[in-house]
Amino acid sequence: MKIVVVGGGSAGWMTASYLQKKLSNTNVTLVESPKVSTIGVGESVTVHVTRFISDLGIDEKHMMRETGSVYKFGNNFVGWDTGAGESELFPFRWNITLNDIKKVMKSSESTNDTFQALKLLHNYTLGTYFHANAVTSRFTDYWLELYKQNRINNDFGCSFGGYDYFSKHEKMPARDSEHLFEQKGLQHAYHINAEKFGEYMKTHVGLPAGVKHVVAHIDKVAVSGNNVQHLTLESGEQIIADLFIDCSGFNRVLVKHLDKQWKYYDLNPADSAMVCQVNYDDPEKDLVNHTLSIAQDQGWVFDISLFHRKGTGYIYSSDLSNEQQVVKEYTDNFLANARMEPRKITWEKKRLQKSAEGNVVAIGMSNGFVEPMEANLFAIIINGIWHLSDTLDRQGTKADWNSYNIKMSDTYDDIADFVLVHYTLSNRKGAFWDEMRSIGKQHNHKQLLIEKYKDARNTFLGAGQGHSIFVDYMWLQLALGWKLNIDNWPTKNIQNHDLDIVESYINSMENKTIECAKDFPNNYQYLKDKIFNGSKITY
């Protein structure tokens, strides 16, 4: 099977590397233009990347050292309720069942070493998460019941994992060189350098696995219906393949020639960004182990710590935000140490109705983009790669793309809903936010949160099957962070003695977390000593 990937950004090199490594009897060629640069943003990622690089046999510490990446333990939403200094941190965590809770409690009680005990309390596997489906009672069902009975406080963050605490206190959960988390454990992700990550995939995975690299501008695309017949390079050379994958970002080099239908996300406000890289004043104070997503008068700002610099961007709406005020707010509050002039990026809020059709698949921003919030795009890229690889493995390039397309559409639509409710349920003041709130009322977004929480596609299993990336607990956590009344959220018929068990699990998790954190090193110091000590990368 001959596959041609168009585009040499992060999406292109991730796709080409993975398919070349995982599929047998496959030759992958990647074509990238010397004239069109990569987008140069996209630096906060989710646990999908952690899992993805681990599947490819990449040692995370090597990747971090070579690219200036740091550990990320969550996403911190600052000022989204009223703008009065409140924040809500979303760590990476997953629902579990009572049986799994009992198991980890039992094993954790078998040791007197608090670090090992805490590690055992976090010791879940993929299998355990899959058990917590929509019909069983999940951790969050017990949590809701305990909360309604006034037996726990509403600090959901600390309840079933220590990472919320480690983020708030800038701790690296490690003793000497032993981490609390495993590389495959789905409890941490990274801030990666957008300019270096694709390059890393190319050098350390793609080329060694045998990807053929062609640096040339694609001049013409010959199509017939929804199939690409061949590509013509500027040199006149023609390229043919069994399957073409469009990873050309907003350039949409292949799909723009095809007769494609789009779905538009008209209610989602953001379609523009001003972006800029920023130097640290003092990395010891300013480098944080979570993404900062800070609500502003006209939209919101992402502030992403890398080891040597930060990546920032002001996300706003060309319709509803005042661009002059955007530039002023951004410059005044975030760009004191700017490394360059801020750059404007715009996009259409849309996705393909069919991500795959004929002999063309679109992966990454060529396939669609809502906006950057919640670091969703790398997760969709990886979802696409995993399910494409599986489809090709079973059906070859003449696959029936129906199931693949449903998964990709569900994921995009779920992302669009999730990012939209961040705006529409806010109590912030001002014209932009008033407009958002009226959309939320009109579409009953308070109820939407409950429906999403109950939806089987938003369980870990649903996410694993490719239907979502924002799972059940996140919809509940949003309701709590945005101070909604959760009295009408559903709870199941739960026995009192089971509630006692979950309550003591929460207490044990919290106590051991605080106890261990006293001895955990500062996040920046750990990175400096254990990851970047002796590193030669320069900026």
User: Shortest distance, CB of residue 431 to ligand FAD, whole angstroms?
Assistant: 23
User: Shortest distance, CB of residue 456 to ligand FAD, whole angstroms?
Assistant: 25
Binding of residue 53 to ligand FAD (CB under 6 A)? no
Among 273, 382, 420, 471, binds ligand FAD (CB under 6 A): 273
**Tokens matching residue 65:** 């050292």
Binding of residue 480 to ligand FAD (CB under 6 A)? no
Choice between 350 and 445, CB closer to ligand FAD: 350
Alpha-carbon distances, residue 481 vs 79, 85, 478, 485, 534 (angstroms): 10, 12, 5, 11, 41
Q: Which residues pair with 291 in a beta bridge?
A: 75
Stretch that binds ligand FAD, among 144-152, 172-180, 258-266, 370-378 (CB under 6 A): 370-378
Choice between 95 and 289, CB closer to ligand FAD: 289
Q: Which residues pair with 75 in a beta bridge?
A: 90, 291
Choice between 76 and 513, CB closer to ligand FAD: 76
Considering only CA atoms, which of 44, 164, 134, 36 is closest in space to residue 468? 134
Pairing of strands 310-316, 299-305: antiparallel
User: Shortest distance, CB of residue 34 to ligand FAD, whole angstroms?
Assistant: 8
Q: What distance in Å separates the CA atoms of residue 172 and residue 153, rounded to the nearest whole number?
A: 25
Binding of residue 173 to ligand FAD (CB under 6 A)? no
Stretch that binds ligand FAD, among 35-43, 64-72, 328-336, 414-422 (CB under 6 A): 35-43
User: Shortest distance, CB of residue 252 to ligand FAD, whole angstroms?
Assistant: 9
What is the pattern of x (binds ligand FAD, CB under 6 A) and - over residues 318-357? ---------------------------x------------
Q: How many residues bind ligand FAD (CB under 6 A)?
A: 36
Residue 16, C-beta contacts closer than 8 angstroms, at least 6 positions apart: 3, 5, 28, 30, 206, 211
Binding of residue 43 to ligand FAD (CB under 6 A)? yes
Burial 205-234 (b: 16+ CB within 10 A, else e): bbbebebeeeebebeebebeebebeebebe
Choice between 139 and 265, CB closer to ligand FAD: 265
Q: What distance in Å separates the CA atoms of residue 179 and residue 170, rounded to the nearest whole number?
A: 15
Longest CA–CA span in the chain (Å) reads 74
Stretch that binds ligand FAD, among 10-18, 73-81, 402-410, 421-429 (CB under 6 A): 10-18
Pairing of strands 2-6, 243-246: parallel
Alpha-carbon distances, residue 102 vs 6, 93, 131 (angstroms): 49, 17, 14
Among 38, 50, 76, 312, binds ligand FAD (CB under 6 A): 38
Strand order of the β-sheet with 243-246 is: 212-215, 27-32, 2-6, 243-246, 360-362, 356-357
The interface with ligand FAD within residues 188-217 (CB under 6 A) comprises 194, 217
Name the one residue in this structure whose structure tokens are 């949003």: 478
CB contact at 8 A, 253 and 245: no
Stretch that binds ligand FAD, among 32-40, 100-108, 326-334, 524-532 (CB under 6 A): 32-40
CB contact at 8 A, 270 and 373: yes
Binding of residue 277 to ligand FAD (CB under 6 A)? no
**Tokens matching residue 52:** 């993805």
Count of beta carbons in the 10 Å neighbourhood of residue 440: 18
Among 68, 283, 368, 372, binds ligand FAD (CB under 6 A): 372
Choice between 275 and 474, CB closer to ligand FAD: 275
Choice between 11 and 287, CB closer to ligand FAD: 11
What is the pattern of x (binds ligand FAD, CB under 6 A) and - over residues 211-250? ------xx----------------------------xxx-
**Tokens matching residue 496:** 């009192």
Stretch that binds ligand FAD, among 6-14, 87-95, 127-135, 395-403 (CB under 6 A): 6-14
Binding of residue 385 to ligand FAD (CB under 6 A)? no
**Tokens matching residue 525:** 């110091």
Binding of residue 254 to ligand FAD (CB under 6 A)? no
Among 20, 44, 312, 459, binds ligand FAD (CB under 6 A): 44
Among 11, 56, 158, 478, binds ligand FAD (CB under 6 A): 11
Choice between 42 and 358, CB closer to ligand FAD: 42
Binding of residue 275 to ligand FAD (CB under 6 A)? yes
Binding of residue 367 to ligand FAD (CB under 6 A)? no
Q: What distance in Å separates the CA atoms of residue 172 and residue 184, rounded to the nearest whole number?
A: 17
**Tokens matching residue 152:** 């726990």
Pairing of strands 368-369, 350-352: antiparallel
User: Shortest distance, CB of residue 194 to ligand FAD, whole angstroms?
Assistant: 6
- DSSP 8-state symbol, 171: B
Binding of residue 32 to ligand FAD (CB under 6 A)? yes
Binding of residue 365 to ligand FAD (CB under 6 A)? yes
**Tokens matching residue 91:** 């760590």
Binding of residue 39 to ligand FAD (CB under 6 A)? yes
**Tokens matching residue 219:** 């001049």
Residue 65, C-beta contacts closer than 8 angstroms, at least 6 positions apart: 531, 532, 535, 537
Among 206, 313, 462, 466, binds ligand FAD (CB under 6 A): 313
CB contact at 8 A, 488 and 137: no
Binding of residue 392 to ligand FAD (CB under 6 A)? no
Task: List residues binding ligand FAD (CB under 6 A).
Answer: 6-12, 31-33, 36, 38-39, 41-45, 194, 217-218, 247-249, 251, 253, 273, 275, 313, 345, 364-365, 372, 375, 377-378
